[in-house]
Amino acid sequence: MRVLPLLLIASLALAGSAGCGSPPPPQSVAQPAAPAADADTLGSAPSSVDALYKYHIRQVEPASDRFTFQDRELSFYFRPAPDALHFQVENRQDRVVWIDWDRCEFIDPDGNRGKLAHSTTRWADRFSVQSSTQIMGLQRYSDDLLPLDYLRDPGASDQQMHRPLLPEGASAPQYSGRDFGVDLIFRIDNQPRTYSFRFRVISVLPR
């Protein structure tokens, strides 16, 4: 009858000894979290419970099997999905940079090039100048991207409504082999700089 108390005492002793070591060394500027090995195999978006197909997508420009890119200024991580292109960017230097949304462009899977919408863009904003986003030094910023033309009228609601970036119904197989991407314009040291990313649908598979 004393087995459980003895096991509990032993577990507490091990936990205490594990916490007595020296603290870990300070981390350098963190990199975007790397996706799992099968991260380029995309299932349906979380809200698409009735999806018939899933997409296998790769980043082809700049080529990366982990949906990442970095230079001296910025570090990017992307997560393409049927609903939108999700991304995270990290400012690697200790000074402010800006995303110039009004000059950014989205190339959709049909090959159409046009203005880009992100998570705060609304139907009423489609003919307005989009405000730039400031990213402080050594900070990260995450957002969702899609073509501005994909926005839909939400009626009286203030929510963002849009058609999916990639369909998950019967028309999905037609998108195999198609490319899409973004040209993101940043202002760094008051100079515009373009970061271009392209993604390819490698295959479309039944769920």
Domain boundaries defined on the chain: 30-206
Residue 89 DSSP symbol = E
pLDDT digits (tens, 9 = 90+) for 99-130: 999 999 999 999 999 999 999 999 999 999 99
Q: Output the pLDDT for position 122.
A: 97
12 DSSP 8-state letter: H
| Model confidence, pTM | 0.79
For 79, the token pair is 């997560």
